[in-house]
Structure 1
Amino acid sequence: MGLSPQPKPWSRVVMVSILLALTIRYVTWRAVSTLYLDTVSHAIFSVGLFLIELVFIFSSVVQLYLLLKVKFRNRQGDRYQQAVLDGHYCPSVDVLIPTYDEPVAVLRRTIAGCQAMDYAAKTVYLLDDQQRPEIATLALAMGCHYLTRSDNRHAKAGNLNHALEKTQGELVVVFDADFVPSTNFLTRTVGFFQNPRNGLLQTHQSFFSPDPVARNLGLETILTQEVEIFSRYYQVLRDSIDTALCYGSSFVARRAALEAVGGFDRGGLSEDYYTGVKLSAIGYEVIYLNESLSAGLSAENMADHVAQRLRWTRGTLQTLFLEANPLTIPGLTWLQRVAHFEGISQWFGSVFRIFFLLLPGAVLFWDWVPMQLSWQEVMYFMLPFYVVNLSTYRWLNFRSRSVFVSDIYAVAQCFPIALTVLQTLIRPFSKGFEVTPKGHVSNRFVFQWRLALPLLILLPLMVVFFAQGLRLASMGRTELLQMVGDPNLIPTLRVAWIGGLYNLLIVWAALLCLLDVPKPDPHEWFRVSYSARINFGLLQVWGTTNQISEAGIGIVLDADSASALGCSRQPVEVVLPEANISLTGVLVGQQDQTVSIQFQGMSLETYRQLIVLLYCQPGRWGKQVMPSEPIALWEIARAILMPVGLQRFVSRRWQRQTVVG
């Protein structure tokens, strides 16, 4: 990728052409030369594997085709933004924050961020679906409108529709309760609605807390969020045919368009997805702006992480049973239907993932060889296809994901997702909406036994598969020929141990993900560098911040200044001249030249300034880059061999035993 580090129009055409040519060549070879049909059982196994491969290849081909059509709307946004900044286009905007059971601290931050958006013609509404007195008090204190209703029928969709009846802005913006927008969110998005065909605009979603997989593996600074590939890659593909997905937060919709489809769809768990499909079906464009203009909280443990994915799985598949079914609803183009079908089919990947985990065992113990091939065919057909796909995967998805990392996420949740897929196809509406908990803390290690049980059963099987693979790989050709009777089946037996080893490592990594490490601090700390002045008494010292949160700040001083500060619990004032903010607090700790200060006595105005500083600056949420496949594999290997969560767990247990002893 040296000639084009980032995908350009010309390099995308070249690479897509190469991949499509290799795909056609590979599929033709697999269909004509490799199927093993000598018995009924072998035929079913061989053809079944080929059909599963075709499902993944279909998905890949659709994505490759859409890659040729991608369009980034950043320059278009620059043009539209100018009319907003000049005051020529300033429609009224209602900002809706639906909430169910989120803590006050989370909502306070979101309200402050929404109120800080640089746009005069906006009104912020807090939609409380639990009628909590403390939330009504919060809304009053923050100066935003408070709406509630007598029941919470239809969950989030019902809450939003109730708000649509009580408000009247030309545009509607929705933020989940934990999402904080940047100050330029509205100036960057509102202008797009000068085009009367645009019904809904979805923006890129970022997260200011690491997802639990990365945190549990100790790879928070290395791995991108799991959903980053969706925002940075899949949404860009969907936008190429004007049918991006609405995912429930950080989007802007035209009120007239919402009213034309009867408001937010109440049929299932994914009201955002269904509503976007309906808007596309009546002729509106559902578009995507690939800019990080807001950020929220990730799920805080693996149980919540998987539960959220199960809700997405069920909600997406429910569309097959609703009026908003993108495969049958009138008004969509054939290409839009194909894109939606490709997206829906991805959820079945978890079912196939289980098949691939068990595949080496079927080959090694039951001689169910799925394909017949020679070493020459492996080198000529199979190796080029997989090597090129592997080496270009990260490049094509704009460095948002690595193959090996994707496999860890997939295996960690494949069993519950596969079960949910089957349950939804049988009883699509058997389960209601559940909010993902946010803003909570945990002071202990928690192993998710329910999620881990299938993988714990699989792990010893993976060890046995790997050992058997090594045994067969060490056998002579004559012995193997006596086992299978066909020399073209021997290469599969020779390399089956590689699949066994890979599955063993991925299952072990997935199990490590399920040991949730403690998260005792409810606040997120950000590594930012500002000049800082500390005033205490008649003295003042200067330093540089190394981390800031809503609760406190860390400042690195020079040696003389550090010794001058004196004892802890001393009241101080911290001034950040570059940010034009002054904060009061107490000194709570000092290690070498770094002092820790806990904020106290913060006024509402200062709190608003702090929220803008931490969350709302334009460009605040830069896109994290996934390392190359070899580096990602190395980091995963390190995490597997030296698991951070396990080390912390053992260390804490040892410390407790030492204290007790």
Structure 2
Amino acid sequence: MTPTDFLPLLLVSGLFALLWDSRRDHQQVRAVVALVPALLVLPYLAWRVTDTLVVPDAQGTLAQVWVWLVAGVELLAFVEMGTFLLIMSRINQRSAQVDALGSSNAMGTPHVDVFIPTYNEPLEVLEKTILGASAIDYPAKTVWVLDDGRRDWLRTYCAQKGVRYLTRPDNRHAKAGNLNHALGHASGAFVCVFDADFVPSRAFIRRTLGLFTDPTVGIVQTPQHFYNKDPIQTNLGLMQEYPDEQRLFFDQMAASRDAWDASFCCGSCSIMRREAIDAAGGIPTESITEDLLTTLVMLRKGYRTVYLNERLSMGLAAESIEGFFVQRERWCRGAIQSLFLPWGPLGPGLTPMQRILFFPTSWLTQYFVRLFLLLIPLAYLLLGLMPLQFTHTSDLVFYQLPLMLGLFLSTRWLVGSHHAPLVSVPASVFASFRLAPTVLASLIKPFGKPFRVTPKGSLSVQGRKVDLVTLSVILLTLVLTLLGLIINVIPELAVVPFNEFFPIAVFWSGLNVFVLALAALLCIEGRRLRSEERFVLNEPAVLKLAGQTHGCVLVDASVDGFHLHLTSPLPTALSAGDVVSLQVQDVGEVALHIVRSAGQRLSGRFVLEPEQRDDLIRKLFSGDYSNQVMQVQTLPMLLRRLWTTAMH
């Protein structure tokens, strides 16, 4: 190799060094960052086509077919990555627009119906959503609980809380049918939809309604934030070190899609113009993802979906491996179903850019690409099949490494601290083993599989479980990769010669072993220590004991438990089992059952009256508090936590 072989690497590194501290909402800089990999891929593809796709006749037909197959999968990966970079090359934030509109004042106070569709969620989940919806700070609203479970206890609960209860004789068309049935009874000018496990903030309607001053807006979608940890965080032990798996989409990609006028309804945490729903003929029932299809139908009727990137609700992320895949399989199948419907991205009435951005490219490609990246070094080490007609290491340095570096740095810059390959790649591999068959099944038979509700609350996690099927396939792939490495370091057993490509294959295999090991961890349910999620409060409170008051700080709290810190020692130390009272902001005086006392720190359980429990739920879940991890911690911290999880 010569120094000039490293010139593209140095140029890419230098360019990103200059741009790295630029503002991420600067549209021109975003376009340049997204364009860099597109420019680098051109010489790379020229080199691949001219120098690496034809193998010598002596290697046989299988070797030639394999090289072409690898090239085809590589092309799919570039299509997926290109679509992602195209989306991310712009971004749109609407908070300033909402501020300028004066929120709902621009619309007056039209009547708003708040729909809470439910099927089998337990009260511990539903009560938070119902109480939160009732607490929305907007006078002209009606809260409807749409019960497809036809439960008498829920009817009674709704009557007690002063909200409307509605059911129907059958569950035809699942959630879409439930919403359509409710539309026949409601008459508001706007309709909010919250899944049974999503709690709206008090400001939800006032922050979203002003955007409807634009008569072309049919839906305002807001991000989905979560107050619990998802299976990726829990199973890898990264509850405080890594954001939930959906933060990349809702915090970054959805805002970027909005800049392309390609936002779509995500079902929950949205508000719709009733006029637009009626123009669409109601909520579409042809797909199990009625939300995406609603956006596509409304687009043909002249109504857009826009995205307001503000935390205006909190909900439950999938709490188990089973729930995670029930949810993802439904999204995947629904996106693919849209290809077979006249209202989908291939049907008439969309612009070329809308077709590109609504086409389910990622669902169709990502899982097969991830699995193929595991297969390539295996095919080389065990069968001697080269992924390309290898020329020289200097060509990889000149053509491939700059492209890989450009893709990594551009992605890292565009998504900021919401993503780390150390976690996202194993998570993607873990999902690929389960979702790749779903993609194939959906392409072969897109319709006919019934709608499945994501299990939540007490219906979700019953102890620590293991996804044995996925774990078995991952471990088999891991063992085969290790076997390929071991065989080829023993001269008498080696399948491939020790040439320039061998160290690359060893490095690639080593990465795959690491990724597969983490993917295996994801198959084992992590421990969930509390039945209710804690929120950090750090607000002043007053402890009452024996007729005297004592200042303290309520450090954190859940619906049933607390942790507080006394500002000074008590005259008489408390012990486990003691009952005292605490004055809590927005709740009042509540009884405390002490479970643990250590110096000036007290922990225990709330002893609440029903009205106090309702007030505490409204306080914790109506928008003022959050326990989310908003950015990725440092690489050493992630590695330490992953090592600790693996060893336990």
TM-score norm. by structure 1 comes to: 0.89
Alpha-carbon displacement from aligned partner over 1:113-137 (angstroms, at most 9, x marks no partner): 1111111111110011011011111
Verify: 1:279 aligned to 2:292, yes or no: no
- My pick for the range that moved more, 415-424 or 35-44, is 35-44
Match of residue 9 from structure 2: none
Matched, 1:254 2:261: no
The alpha-carbon deviation at position 324 of structure 1 amounts to 2.4
- Work out which of the residue numbers 396, 402, 410 in structure 2 matches 1:384: 402
Relative to structure 1, is the Cα distance of residues 234 and 442 closer, same or farther in structure 2, using a 3 angstrom cutoff? Answer: closer
Q: Could you list the per-position Cα deviations for residues 547-581 of structure 1 after superposition, in whole angstroms to 9, with x for gaps in the alignment?
A: 200112111225622x624343333221135x574
> What is the aligned partner in structure 2 of residue 654 from structure 1?
none
2:569 is paired with a residue of what secondary structure? Answer: helix
**Structure 1 pair 187/71, CA: closer, same or farther in 2 (3 Å)?**
same
In 1, the alpha carbon distance for the partners of 2:515 and 2:219 equals 39
Report which stretch shifted further, 594-603 or 420-429. 594-603
Which residue number corresponds to residue 30 of structure 1? Answer: 48
The aligned runs of 1:120-519 (5 Å cut-off) are 120-328=139-347, 330-341=348-359, 343-371=360-388, 372-440=390-458, 442=461, 444-468=463-487, 483=497, 490-519=499-528
Q: Distance in 2 between matches of 1:320 and 1:539?
A: 69
Provide the aligned C-alpha RMSD in A: 2.4
Structure 1 match to 2:563: 554
Match for residue 530 of structure 1 among 524, 539, 542: 539
1:570 matches 2:578: yes
Decide whether the 8 Å contact of 2:595 with 2:605 is kept in 1.
yes
Q: Give the 3-state SS of the residue equivalent to 1:547 in structure 2.
A: strand
Distance 1:97 1:220, change over 3 A: same
1:651 matched residue in structure 2:
none
Matched-pair contact (CA < 8 Å) for 2:25–2:91: no
Change (3 A) 1:620 1:521: closer
Instruction: Work out the CA distance in 2 between the residues paired with 1:76 and 1:346.
Output: 33
Asked whether the 8 Å contact 1:551–1:599 carries over to 2, the reply is yes
2:596·2:602 contact (CA, 8 Å) conserved in 1? yes
Q: Normalising by the residue count of structure 2, what TM-score does the alignment of the two structures yield?
A: 0.91
Distance 1:310 1:504 in 2: 26
Aligned-partner Cα distance in 2 for 1:566–1:283 = 66
The Cα offsets for residues 25-47 of structure 1, whole Å up to 9 and x where unpaired, read as 22222222222433432222112
Aligned residue for 1:291, secondary structure, equals: coil
Match of residue 589, structure 2, among 563, 582, 597: 582
What is the Cα deviation at residue 419 of structure 1? Answer: 0.9
Q: 1:239 to 1:469 in 2, by over 3 A?
A: farther
The residue identity in structure 2 corresponding to 1:564 is: T
Q: Following superposition of structure 1 onto structure 2, how do residues 621-632 of structure 1 map, counting pairs within 5 Å?
A: 624-627=630-633, 631-632=634-635
Distance of 1:266 and 1:514 partners within structure 2: 34
Distance 1:104 1:208, change over 3 A: same
Correspondence list, 1:71-90, <5 A: 71-80=92-101, 82=102, 84=104, 86=105, 89-90=108-109
Q: State the SS of the aligned residue for 1:456.
A: helix
Aligned counterpart in structure 1 of residue 640 of structure 2, from 638, 644, 650: 638
Compute the displacement of 1:498 (Å): 1.1
- Distance in structure 2 (CA, Å) of the matches to 1:30 and 1:445: 48
Q: Residue type of the partner of 2:41? A: T
Q: Contact between 1:183 and 1:618, CA under 8 Å: does it hold in 2?
A: no
1:456-496 Cα distance to aligned partner (Å, 9 max, x none): 22221121133346569x99xxx97xx59xxxxx4332210
Deviations 1:70-100 (A, max 9, x none): 32222112123x152x475222110000000
- Name the counterpart of 1:4: 22
Relative to structure 1, the CA distance from residue 388 to residue 461 in structure 2 (aligned partners, 3 Å threshold; closer, same or farther) is same
Q: SS at the partner of 2:222?
A: strand
1:14 to 22, 32, 55: 32
- Do the aligned partners of 1:550 and 1:611 also contact (CA within 8 Å) in 2? yes
How far did residue 378 of structure 1 move? 1.6
Looking at structure 2, the residues matched to 622 and 32 of structure 1 have their Cα atoms a distance apart, in angstroms, of 50
Distance in structure 1 (CA, Å) of the matches to 2:401 and 2:518: 26
Greater alpha carbon shift after TM alignment, 491-500 vs 124-133: 491-500
Answer whether contact 1:295 1:621 (CA < 8 A) is retained: no
Local SS of the residue matching 1:149 = coil
Instruction: Return the structure number with greater relative CO, CA threshold 8 A, min gap 6.
Output: 2
Distance in 1 (CA, whole Å) between partners of 2:287 and 2:569 is: 63
Measured after TM superposition, the shift of residue 624 of structure 1 is 0.5
Q: 2:607 aligns with which of 581, 595, 600?
A: 600
Instruction: Report the Cα distance in structure 2 between the residues aligned to 1:593 and 1:36, rounded to whole angstroms.
Output: 74
Offset at 1:620? 4.5
Task: Output the CA distance in 2 between the equivalents of 1:43 and 1:100.
Answer: 54
Q: 1:118 aligns with which of 137, 140, 156?
A: 137
Going from structure 1 to structure 2, the CA distance change for 1:468 and 1:281 (only over 3 Å counts) comes to farther
Alpha-carbon separation, structure 1, partners of 2:118 and 2:242: 30
Instruction: Verify the 8 A CA contact 2:569 2:600 in the aligned structure 1.
Output: no
Matched residue SS, 1:206 = coil
Structure 2, unaligned runs of 5 or more? 1-18
**Corresponding position of 2:552:** 543
SS at match of 2:417: coil
Measure, in 2, the Cα distance between the counterparts of 1:211 and 1:501.
28
